[in-house]
């Protein structure tokens, strides 16, 4: 509606401006035409004086029937027109002003001004120029000024306008022998000037424009009211009802089958509603079929997922069993060998394989498939298996405290398990027993601090079990026989996990602390 009103307003404005423009042009042309008519009248008077009155009088004078004297009342057409204009002006002085102007006019009141003189010279140079119009101010008021071609000197006019000695004596006595003489036949001697006040010129136009504007405004107002009423009755109200019906269908999909009652709407809307009902029925049928298809596929997918979970749990179970069998063989071999170095190698192998065994066992037990592992349960089971497999001396104990939290597989639990295994194996290997027979205790703590998982292993010792962190593994000679393999493994795994560690010996207790970035499951 706003667009319609804007277009209507623009159309009305353009119409009024156009009418105003054309009326202005029409008024100007009308004024010019009236000026031409008045000019024709005045020139006809000149012609009457030049062709009839003055030749007759001159003939009478030459015949000796009249005395040779001059009287402008009957001898001068310009004088006659001027006097006639005086009479006419008494009734039309508010409508226009008139001047009969000439260069070097005998009557100083008729002397041409600069514009009039320029037009006279231009007409004598250009025979086709007969009229010129312009807007100018006179006495502080705006006028529409029209210059028209005036009197042309004829042969009979030379009696009064050629040489002073040929003119009637009375003419020279009244006007002198300097002004109005020495003219030639064909010379345009005067210009008829009409000055129409602008207000008078545009008076009718303004009334017409105002009237048209009022009519357009009234018609536009009536049209807007009528259009609004028609739109409300035949378009907006049915559309609102149709919108409510469609909204109800979108809220209750069961209405798709019944559709919209076509008989309640205007004929213009029925084709649209028929198409909508057809589309709604097709959509309802498609949705019903799609729902059945989704239920069927969901059931098939659920069966496939359950089968996959069972298969995966079976794989985890079999891998754990096979690795456990290998660990058992390695443990039997460890107990049978006499070499301390061989026993340490087998113990390290058992510990590292125990990490993998425990992880597969946890995944086999997990009720959530492969997604989440309980970190507390995993670490406690791992530490229990390591303690059972690697601690042979009853005087050496291993205790731990693990915070209850979950872990996604993205934490690299295998690497984490190997780290703990290495630290615990080193602690068992380098732990110093109490000389008083009180034994030794290895303590493991795993807790979450902010966004890090902190692991701390402490054991009584007289020498470091793991080298203090210094340069990165890439800057060390990893093949150096003097550097323990456990330290190399720890530093390498810490780089993979993006963590840091600190190690130090204080008051007979050696402590290693690991800090690993931690992201909880679901974060």
Q: What is the DSSP letter of 216?
A: H
How many Cβ atoms sit within 10 Å of the Cβ of residue 116?
22
Of residues 293, 241, 308, the one with CA closest to residue 269: 241
pLDDT at residue 148 is higher than 60: yes
Model pLDDT, residue 387: 83
How many Cβ atoms sit within 10 Å of the Cβ of residue 149?
20
Model pLDDT, residue 129: 92
Percent pLDDT > 70 in the chain is 73
Question: Which position has the higher pLDDT, 60 or 281?
Answer: 281
Q: For 129-143, 193-207, 214-228, 417-431, which range has the lowest pLDDT when averaged over its residues?
A: 193-207
Does the pTM surpass 0.75? The reply is no
**436-481 pLDDT, tens per residue?**
666 788 899 988 888 888 999 998 877 665 555 543 433 333 334 4
Residues 299-309, mean pLDDT to the nearest whole number: 82
Question: Which position has the higher pLDDT, 227 or 265?
Answer: 227
Q: What is the DSSP letter of 337?
A: -
Q: How far is CA 95 from the centre of its chain?
A: 59
Q: Across 87-101, 381-395, 500-514, which has the greatest mean pLDDT?
A: 500-514
3-state secondary structure 391-448: CCCCCEEEEEEECCCEEEHHHCHHHHHHHHHHHHHHHHHHCCCECCCCEEEEEEEEEE
Q: At 390, which helix (H) or strand (E)? A: helix 375-390
CA neighbours within 13 Å on the CB side: how many for 72?
A: 13
Q: For 53-67, 179-193, 496-510, which range has the lowest pLDDT when averaged over its residues?
A: 53-67
Identify the burial level of 260 via C-beta atoms within 10 angstroms of its C-beta, where 0-12 means exposed, 13-18 middle and 19 or more buried. buried
Residue environment code for 295-332, b if the CB has 16+ CB neighbours within 10 A, otherwise e: eeeeeeeeeeeeeeeeeebeebeebbeebbeebeebbe
Question: Which position has the higher pLDDT, 353 or 44?
Answer: 353
Domains in the chain: ranges and CATH = 29-208 (no CATH), 395-523 (3.30.565.10)
Three-state DSSP state, 486: helix
Q: For 241-250, 360-369, 506-515, which range has the lowest pLDDT when averaged over its residues?
A: 360-369
Identify the burial level of 224 via C-beta atoms within 10 angstroms of its C-beta, where 0-12 means exposed, 13-18 middle and 19 or more buried. middle
pLDDT at residue 76 is higher than 80: no
Model pLDDT, residue 119: 92
Question: Which position has the higher pLDDT, 195 or 203?
Answer: 195
Residue 75, both tokens: 């001898």
Residues 111-128, mean pLDDT to the nearest whole number: 91
């Amino acid at each position: 509606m706003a667009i319609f009103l804007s277009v209507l307003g623009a159309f009305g404005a353009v119409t009024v401006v156009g009418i105003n423009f054309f009326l202005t042009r029409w008024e100007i042309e009308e004024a010019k035409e009236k000026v031409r008519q008045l000019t024709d009248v005045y020139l006809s008077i000149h012609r009457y004086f030049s062709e009839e009155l003055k030749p007759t009088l001159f003939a009478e004078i030459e015949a000796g029937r009249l005395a040779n004297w001059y009287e402008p009342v009957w001898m001068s057409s310009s004088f006659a027109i001027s006097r006639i204009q005086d009479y006419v002006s008494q009734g039309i002085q508010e409508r226009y002003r008139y001047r009969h102007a000439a260069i070097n006019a005998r009557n100083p009141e008729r002397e041409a001004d600069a514009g009039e003189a320029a037009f006279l010279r231009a007409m004598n140079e250009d025979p086709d120029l007969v009229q010129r119009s312009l807007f100018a101010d006179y006495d502080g008021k705006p006028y529409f000024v029209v210059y028209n071609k005036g009197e042309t000197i004829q042969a009979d006019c030379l009696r009064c306008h050629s040489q002073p000695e040929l003119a009637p004596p009375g003419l020279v006595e009244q006007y002198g022998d300097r002004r109005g003489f020495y003219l030639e036949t064909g010379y345009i001697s005067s210009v008829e000037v009409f000055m129409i006040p602008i207000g008078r010129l545009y008076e009718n136009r303004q009334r017409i424009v105002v009237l048209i504007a009022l009519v357009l405004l009234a018609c536009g107002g009536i049209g807007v009211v009528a259009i609004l009423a028609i739109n409300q009755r035949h378009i907006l109200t049915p559309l609102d009802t149709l919108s409510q019906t469609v909204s109800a269908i979108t809220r209750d999909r069961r209405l798709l089958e019944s559709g919209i009652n076509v008989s309640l709407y205007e004929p213009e809307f029925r084709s649209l509603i028929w198409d909508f009902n057809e589309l709604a029925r097709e959509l309802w049928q498609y949705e019903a079929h799609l729902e059945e298809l989704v239920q069927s596929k969901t059931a098939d997918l659920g069966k496939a997922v359950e089968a996959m979970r069972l298969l995966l749990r079976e794989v985890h179970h079999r891998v754990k069993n096979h690795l456990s069998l290998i660990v058992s063989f390695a443990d039997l071999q460890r107990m049978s060998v006499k070499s301390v170095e061989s026993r340490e190698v087998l113990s390290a192998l058992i510990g590292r394989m125990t990490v993998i065994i425990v992880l597969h066992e946890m995944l086999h037990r997990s009720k959530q498939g492969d997604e989440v592992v309980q970190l507390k349960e995993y670490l406690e089971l791992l530490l229990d298996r390591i303690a059972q497999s690697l601690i042979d001396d009853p005087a050496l104990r291993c205790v731990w405290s693990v915070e209850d939290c979950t872990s996604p597989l993205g934490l690299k639990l295998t690497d984490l398990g190997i780290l703990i295994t290495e630290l615990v194996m080193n602690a068992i290997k380098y732990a110093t027993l109490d000389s008083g027979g009180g034994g030794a205790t290895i303590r493991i703590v795993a807790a979450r601090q902010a966004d890090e998982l902190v692991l701390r292993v402490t054991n009584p010792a007289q020498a470091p079990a793991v080298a203090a962190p210094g340069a990165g593994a890439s800057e060390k000679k990893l093949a150096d026989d003097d550097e323990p393999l456990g330290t190399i493994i720890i530093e390498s795994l810490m780089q993979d996990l993006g963590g840091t560690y600190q190690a130090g010996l204080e008051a007979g207790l050696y402590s290693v602390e690991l800090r690993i970035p931690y992201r909880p499951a679901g974060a």
